[in-house]
Amino acid sequence: MFYRILKNTGLPANIADKMTDRTSANVNPQAIRFVPPAGDGRGHRAGVMLKGNSLFDAFGSTWEFDYQRDDWGVQVIHPFKTGQCIFTIHRNSLGLSTPARWLEIGYGTGTMSNLVHTTAYTNIFPLVSGTSYHIKTAVTPGGGVSVLLNGSLVATGTVTMANQIDFNVGTNETYQGQSVWDVREFTGANFPLVWQKGYSGVILEPVDTGSNRLSTIKYFPGF
């Protein structure tokens, strides 16, 4: 069950009105925009990052947004204990990873065995291109995780530990989706390449054609 949004959290509930593979609109000033490396020749991508506070330790965290899929996917990053865990939502898969470095997941599918699918999963996946889905991902203080699409619980799981993610990408390093065209480094004003305790974010993965789109993006304590 999801708690109501807690008041006076020190963080805005509304993070951005819209984020596409090419731009972000009406991003809250407390959110830090960033651009990940391209993958497999894909040059369009976007991300936003937030710093947390003690309420997320006490109550857990929820990301909620509308998602229109038109190619690759979206990665949703939650704080847990001293690090972060990453949900990867693709056309026909869900993954949950706790990498020490972003290179361990890159634009891959994440670790699919960390999530247990419910009956609703097979009714919703694969996601249909151009169709809008209302998505909630949540992590409880004790490590329980859940993914809901269109109000239906599609996957659950448990995370027991997490690492502070290092987003540095060296010129001689490779990752899934590597391409000779990629720029390789993450960019963005004030974007921290090593994420500290409490940091969270969303990465809209790159596309070849069309546009992935997130809208009415919210982040709040509770689950």
Is the pLDDT at 21 greater than 80, yes or no?
no
Residue 122 backbone phi and psi in degrees, to 5: -70, -20
CB atoms near residue 51 (< 10 Å): 18
Q: Tokens standing for 7? A: 């008041």
118 — pLDDT class (breaks 50, 70, 90): very high
Is the pLDDT at 38 greater than 80, yes or no?
no
Fold of the domain spanning 14-221: Jelly Rolls (2.60.120)
CA 3 remoteness from chain centre: 20
d(CA 12, CA 219) in angstroms, rounded, equals 8
210 — pLDDT class (breaks 50, 70, 90): low
Is the pLDDT at 5 greater than 90, yes or no?
no
SS3 at position 131: coil
Give the mean model confidence (pLDDT) for residues 133-146: 97
Give the mean model confidence (pLDDT) for residues 65-73: 84
Is the pLDDT at 170 greater than 50, yes or no?
yes
pLDDT at position 122 is 95
Nearest in space to 39 (alpha carbons), one of 110, 137, 108, 132: 108
Question: Is the bond preceding residue 37 a cis peptide, omega within 30 degrees?
Answer: no
105 DSSP 8-state letter: T
pLDDT at position 40 is 63
Q: What's this model's pTM, rounded to 2 decimal places?
A: 0.92
Is the pLDDT at 19 greater than 90, yes or no?
no
pLDDT at position 43 is 64
pLDDT at position 7 is 47
Q: Which residue has tokens 């809901």?
A: 148
128 DSSP 8-state letter: P
Q: What does the longest C-alpha to C-alpha distance in the chain come to?
A: 47
